Amino acid sequence: MENISNIRALKRNMRPILAGLAAGVCLLVVQNAFAASPQPIDREAKTCERAIQYQERRLNIPKGLLNAISVAESGRWNASGQATIAWPWTVTTGGKGNFLPNRADAVAFVKSLQSDGVQNIDVGCMQINLKYHPDAFVSIEHAFDPNANAAYAADFLDERFQVSKSWLKAAGDYHSTTPVLNKSYRKKVAKIWHNTPITSASNDALKPALSTLSSKGIASAPSTSLTQRFNLAFQARTFRQSGQAIANRVNAFKPGASLNRPKGKDKKIQFAKKRRSQLMAWRQANGTQPKSAPKVAPHTTLMPTIPASINVQ
């Protein structure tokens, strides 16, 4: 009996130990799961970069320049990648940059600032100022679309380049036309641009142009002939589509483009109208419909009898 009692006592004493071990294992599994999943900054690390690279190709901006500006504007240190990246949900006001965790929080923060009467606010990858560029976006949500944000910045940088004929001068104008601020910003962007790895074949040709500093301490812009070679390389590598296809792709990225696209029920209605029009034209061409067809109630489907030999697309 004494042995049986000892065994029962041992079982009772082992229960809390086993329960503790089970809890420890569960905690370890959860910790490993969190460690394996990418952190928010890792998930968003390439968000701005992808949008910016597309805009550089679209307007033949020297590779890496627009990205260097974005890092100067909304740069945030990414410890896991050991690099400073442009953060898409950056909001700057009163000289202070705020890195919001996601788009919804960034939008809510800007709306809260505006409700308090704050107007001088920079937003997104390229830190577009909502006060000085009031017509840049159709909404605050649109302003935080990385593609729309980068597209507006690229267009503005290209406009400044058309005036100065120098990409680095255009980069300075992107920030300010005040000489002191312009010069300081150009130096900052040139340094980032020079130190950013470029994986293309033009890397060796670009670095000497960036590393050549003037007596004033500002990196020289790439020469006109060098820029033209870059442009031709971009065109040969990227734009292999028809002119209309390129235009359609560019227009799709313009601010507000998505507002003109029919969605949901409206899209189905337009499709139905188009099909009714095609069928009416076919019937008139084949003598089965009078030229002046009676009016049909909205959304009424016309189903003519079509010979089996006719294939209507």
Start-end of H helices in 134-223: 140-143, 146-164, 167-175, 179-195, 203-211
Closest among 164, 169, 87, 79 to 126, alpha carbons compared: 87
pLDDT for the residue 302: 47
* 290: number of Cβ within 10 Å: 9
pLDDT level of residue 78 (50, 70, 90 thresholds): confident
Instruction: Answer yes or no: are the C-beta atoms of 151 and 254 closer than 8 Å.
Output: yes
Closest among 297, 84, 68 to 187, alpha carbons compared: 68
pLDDT for the residue 264: 58
pTM comes to 0.54
- pLDDT at residue 213 greater than cutoff 50: no
The rounded mean pLDDT for the chain is 74
H/E element, 97: strand 96-99
